[in-house]
Structure 1
Amino acid sequence: MATIKDVAKLAGVSTSTVSHVLNGTRFVREETCERVENAVRELSYRPSSIARSLKVQQTKTLGMLVTASRNPFFAEVVHGVERQCYKRGYTLFLCNTEGDVQRMEANLDALEEKRVDGMLLLCGEVNNDIITLLEAERSVPIVVFDWGPQSDTVDRIYDNSPHGSRLATEYLINMGHTAIGCVTGPRGRRSAEERLAGFRETMRAAGLPVREEWIVEGDYECEGGVNAINQLHALPEMPTALFVCNDMMAIGLISRAAQLGLHVPQDLSLIGYDDIYIAGYTSPLLTTIHQPKEEIAAMAVDTLIDRLVSKRAKGKMIKIEPSLVERNSVRRLK
C-alpha cells in the first residue's frame, strides 16, 4: 500500500506539499498540483483516515445506539439519520443494544474507543440503569431522542406529545364522537403519560366523560392493540372511537377487530400516532398523528454537529411539533 512518502518521491516534492495539495490548506502551483495528483492516481494512494483524525482530533464519524424494536418508527428514524450523516460528510456506526443494559454499556465504550465525534441514542425503553449510563461522564457529546435525563450536558429532541394527543382527541370529537376510549403506551414512559394526559384534558375541556374502563394500557407493539380490543370487546358497552397512542397498536387492533366481527370505521373508529410508512397501506388507511421523522433525524444530526463545531458545553432541548393526517379509519357520526 502506497504511503504519502511514496507519492512525494514520485512527484518530486516534499510530504508537506503533498498534504497541502490533498487538503487544500495552502496555495500550491498548478504544475506541482498536477504532478502530485498524477502520482496519487498512479500509486492508487488513499490518505490514512486514522492519521488524519489524530492530527485534526476529528474522525468525521458518529455512533448511534438503538434498542431492538419491531416498530418501523425506529427504522425510519435511523434511515433519516444515516441520510443526514451522508449529506454532512459523516460516517455512521450503528449499534443495536437489544434492550440489554450491559450490551449498551459495552457499545458506548466501544464507540468511544473508536473515537467517534459524537453519539445519538434512540431507545424505546428507559430505566434507572440506562439513565445512570447516560449521566456518567462521557468523552463525546450525546443527543438522545424522545426521552432522557434532565441533564445540563445532554441534548434532547422530543415530540410534543401533549399537542399531538389533543389533535387526535379533538379530531374524534369534531367527527361527532362522544364515547371515546384510549389505548395508551406503557405506563411510566414519558410519551405514554403525556399522550394519556392530553386525551384526558381534551375530553374534560369538551365536557365529555372519561370512562376508566375504556382506557387500556398497551405496549407500543401490535400485541398491545390485540389485547386492548379483546379487553374492550368483553365489556357490556364499547366506545364508538379510540385514540390509539401509536400506529403499531392500531394495526394490531384493526386485525383483531376484524376477527371479532367488528369493522373499522363502521363499528369502531380509530386514530393512531406516529404515521409510520405502513399506515398509508392498511385497510382501512389509518388516520393518525404524523411525527416528522426525517426532520427529527436531520435535527438530531445537525444539533450534534453544531455542538462539535461550536464546542457548546450546555445541552439543550428541542421540541418537534406533530400534525394530523386524515385518512379513512374514522367515521363521521351524524
Structure 2
Amino acid sequence: MDKIAVLIPCYNEEKTIAKVVADTKKALPEAVVYVYDNNSTDRTVELAAAAGAVVRHEYMQGKGNVIRRMFREIDAQCYVMVDGDDTYPMEYAPEMVEKVLEHHADMVVGDRLSSTYFTENKRPFHNLGNSLVRGTINRLFGCKIKDIMTGFRAFSYGFVKTFPVLSKGFEIETEMTIHAVFNNMQIENVIVDYRDRPEGSQSKLNTYSDGMRVLGTIGRLYKDYKPFGFFSLLALILAVIATVFFIPILVAFIRTGVVDKFPTLFVCCFVMLAAVQAFFSGMILSNMALKNRRDFEFRLNMIQGKIKNDDVD
C-alpha cells in the first residue's frame, strides 16, 4: 500500500500533463504519481511517462469510468485526485494530505469557488452552473459544501474503497460529494487558487449537455439517498393536480346534483391513488435506505480494521 497516491485522469492533455506531474513531484516528493489515460490521441502518454509518472489506461470513455479503474487498482493511505489541465496549483496538496492523514478526514475538497474561480474562468454559464449545483445540493441534503464540482480532492482509503462509482462522466464529482454527505463522512475544505486553462488547452466539458447530466444525477441520487423526501414531494404534486381538477366537479355537483365529467372524476381518483402509493413507497424505501446506511457503517468498520492490521504487520 502506498502512503500517498496522486491520481490524474487524462484525456488529450499534452499541453499541460508534464507540468502537472512535475509540480506534483515537487509538492509531494514521497507520493507515487499515477496518470490514467482515457484514449488520448495526442502525446499525453509519452509526456506523462517522460515526466516520471506511472501511466495506466482506461479504455471505456468517460471520467467516471477512469475514476472507477483508479479506485479499484490503487491502494494507498491517502489519495489525491487532480485534473491534468494545470488549473489547480499543487502547492495546496500537502495541506490536503495532512487533513486526511493527521485529521482523519474522509474527503478534502479543493475549494475554487471561494477564491479565484469566478474571475479566472471565462465561461459565464459554468460559473452559474457551479453556483446552481452547490445551492441545490446544500439545500436538498442539508449540508454546507463550498465547491461541489471541483476536480481537486483528497480521500482516505475508507472513502475510496466504499464509494460506488455509478456515473460515467463528469458528474462523478457530484456523486462523490453526495456519497460523503449522506454517509456522514468527515469532509474538510481547503481554499485553493484556480487558474484558467493555458492557451491551446481545450476543455472537454459541454456546458449544456454536461450540466443537464449533473442535474439529472442530483435528482437520481436524491431519490436513492432521500427516498421519503423525493416520493413525498411527488405525492404532493400528484395530490395537488388531482385536487385542482376535482374541485370544479365537486362545485358543479353541489349546485346541480349531477356529475357531468365522469372521465375527469375517474382520472382524479387514479391520480390521488398514485399520490397515496407514492407516499407509502417513500416510507418503505426510506427504511431500506436506513438499512443500507447501517450496512455501510459495517463495511467501513471492516475496512478500517484492515488498515490497522496492515499497519501492525
TM bin, normalised by shorter chain, reads: under 0.3
Query: What's the TM-score, normalizing by structure 1?
Result: 0.23
Output the TM-score relative to the length of structure 2: 0.24
